[in-house]
Structure 1
Amino acid sequence: MKILVVGAGAVGGYFGARLVQAGRDVDFLVRPARAELLRRKGMVLRGVDGGVETVPVTPVTADRLGADYDLVVLAVKSYGFDAALKDAAPAVGPDTVVLPFLNGMRHVDALVERFGADRVYGGVAMVMTRLGAEGEIVEVGRMGRLIYGPLSEHPVVAPSDVHAALDTGSYAASLTGSVRQELWNKWVFLAALGACTCLMRAPIGPINSAPGGQEFTSGMFAEAIAVATAAGYPPGQDALDRADAFVADTTATTTTSMYWDLTQGNPVEADQIIGDLVARGRELGVPTPLFSLAYTSLSAYSAARA
């Protein structure tokens, strides 16, 4: 199977490098400057234990793409989705499936509208990595898992073939028949934790330790769960228990990538993670006052940054 990974950042770079190490046929669609860096230095992975791996990879730029890929993996920040889709579209032929590992749900709707459900999979990536100052992938915690599955009963590439390509043994890989539920499960947690930590400018433990903190965190989770439930994807009991554990934890240093980007002065995925949840809640008649406040705060940050 020939694979195109769109993006070589903290997610695409990490999982793409693991695919290369496992002998998969992988190209990386990147910008010209990133392509030159990867040609010279390879994909550099810095482990949580300080170890360094250098993986030779094949970068390509948008002007050199052809529709000869079986699997196109989209692994970019949500605010870069439109540009990435435009660049990657020439690689998507009639027998190609697109597998996005982005946050939220908006991108899934856009891909299905563009390519049809039979050429789109859904995907959830869980990894604790960041892009370093010199373009290296920095692992900041031990976590690596992919969950994926088709959105159609008759995808143009069989689920077993996609799973065989992605299951390298170097991270957990799971094929699911209910990928939309998995996407909503992640969105609920990511949105609630992101909204909490970004609005309060603190990890979840100190928030819960503050006066009114646990009520605030509980309220944020309750809003996210209510939207998911109204949309037809209520989190299961395991997910609800996990939410309760986060609300009760007064010592955890847990944050999110959105919090990291905010504190570093970077662009944030406010529209896709927070704003879209608020919009869907409005459409479904679910009040989201806490999420609305978080979205206003993040939107103000983005406007000031611009």
Structure 2
Amino acid sequence: MRILVVGAGATGGYFGGRLAQAGRDVTFLVRAKRAEELRRSGLVIKSPRGDLTLRDVKTVLADQIAQPYDLVLLSCKAYNLDDAIESFTPAVGEATMILPVLNGMHHIDVLKQKFGAEKVLGGQCVIAATLNREREIVHLNDMHAIGFGETGGGISERVRAVASAFEGAGFDSTASDSILQQMWEKWVFLATLAASTCLHRAAIGDILKTPDGRRIIEGLFGECKAIAAANGYPLGEASNVRAQGILFAEGSPLTASMLRDIEGQSRIEADHIVGDLIARGGDVQKEGALSLLRVAYSHLKAYEARQARQAA
């Protein structure tokens, strides 16, 4: 299976690097600057699961793609989705599978509209990683997992083929017969975490020490769950218990990556993670009511407006 990994940043670089280390046919679609970095220093991963330095990394620039790939692994930021699609479109052929591991659901709609529903798999990943100043991939904990499956459910032959390619590649992978349910469950948790920690500019443990912190997290979690249920994806009991265990852990230093982006004055995925969830709320949200989720979203959009004003 010929695999094209779009980008060689923290997420794509990590999973693509593990696949390449395991002998899979992996090519990274990168810009010229990143291609030069990889040529000069290799693809470097620092991880509790084992460090890795790959030399002679296979890379390609967008204008150099000459033939389709079997699998396109997409892990860009949501605000870079349009640019990413433009770059990898020449790699999509008649039998190409596109496996995005972005958060939320909007990207699935965009990819299906562009390439056709039959080419798009559902997917999600669990990993905390970043690029350091030396442009090395730093894996921040021991979680490194990808889940994937048909958006219509079931386990198809092509999903089995992806599972075979990922098996033994140095990270956890699961072929799912209900990937959209899992994506919605992750979205509910992530939106709650992002809204809570960004709104308070604090970690979960700090929020829980405030007079109304627990009530606010509970309110946000309840709103997100209600939206998921209204869309046909009620949170499962196991997922609900797991999320509550994390969201209400006393003393927890956990924050959303979106808060870390704000603290670094970087771009954020406000529209994709929180705004799109609100847009899918429909009848769940009372007409004219200012819900906690809407307050959090307004907070994020104010940050974006300030960033735009200062840049101008």
Q: Scaled by the length of structure 1, what TM-score is found?
A: 0.95
Specify the alignment match of 1:214 in structure 2: 214
SS at match of 2:280: helix
Change (3 A) 1:153 1:265: closer
Which ranges in structure 2 are unaligned for 5 or more consecutive residues?
Answer: none
- The residue aligned with 1:225 is 225
Alpha-carbon separation, structure 2, partners of 1:93 and 1:154: 23
Deviation at 1:170, TM superposition (A): 1.3
What is the alpha-carbon distance in structure 2 between the residues aligned to residue 303 and residue 9 of structure 1? 27
Q: Which residue of 1 aligns with 2:270?
A: 270
Equivalent position of 2:53 in the other structure: 54
Residue 296 of structure 1: aligned partner? 298
Aligned match of 2:145: 145
**217-226 or 289-298: which moved more?**
289-298
Q: Does the Cα contact within 8 Å between 2:132 and 2:138 map onto a contact in 1? A: yes
How is 1:164-183 mapped onto 2 (pairs within 5 angstroms)?
Answer: 164-183=164-183
In structure 2, how many angstroms separate the alpha carbons of the residues matched to 1:70 and 1:169?
Answer: 17
Report the Cα offset of residue 285 of structure 1.
3.6
Percent identity (aligned): 44
- Listed one character per residue, the Cα deviations across residues 108-158 of structure 1 (whole Å, up to 9, x for unaligned) are 011111222221101110011111122111111111011000124799971
Query: Structure 1: 5+ residue runs without aligned partners?
Result: none
Give the Å deviation of 1:75. 0.9
Alignment-mate amino acid for residue 285 of structure 2: V
Identify if the C-alpha distance between structure 1 residues 169 and 8 changes in structure 2 by more than 3 Å, giving closer, same or farther.
Answer: closer
Q: Write the distance in 2 (CA, Å) between the matches of 1:5 and 1:18.
A: 12
TM-score by length of 2: 0.93
Q: Does structure 1 conserve the Cα–Cα contact (< 8 Å) formed by 2:154 and 2:176?
A: no
Which secondary structure state, in structure 2, belongs to the residue aligned with residue 159 of structure 1? helix
Alignment of 1:1-306 (within 5 A): 1-48=1-48, 52-56=51-55, 57-152=57-152, 158-281=158-281, 283-287=282-286, 289-306=291-308
Letter in structure 2 aligned against 1:286:
Q
Shift of 1:53: 2.4
Q: CA deviation at 1:47?
A: 2.1
Q: RMSD of the alignment, in Å? A: 1.8
Q: Deviations over 1:159-203 (max 9, x none)?
A: 111111122341110000111101101101111001101110111
| Distance in 1 separating the partners of 2:297 and 2:115 | 30
Q: Is the Cα contact below 8 Å between 1:118 and 1:153 reproduced in 2?
A: no
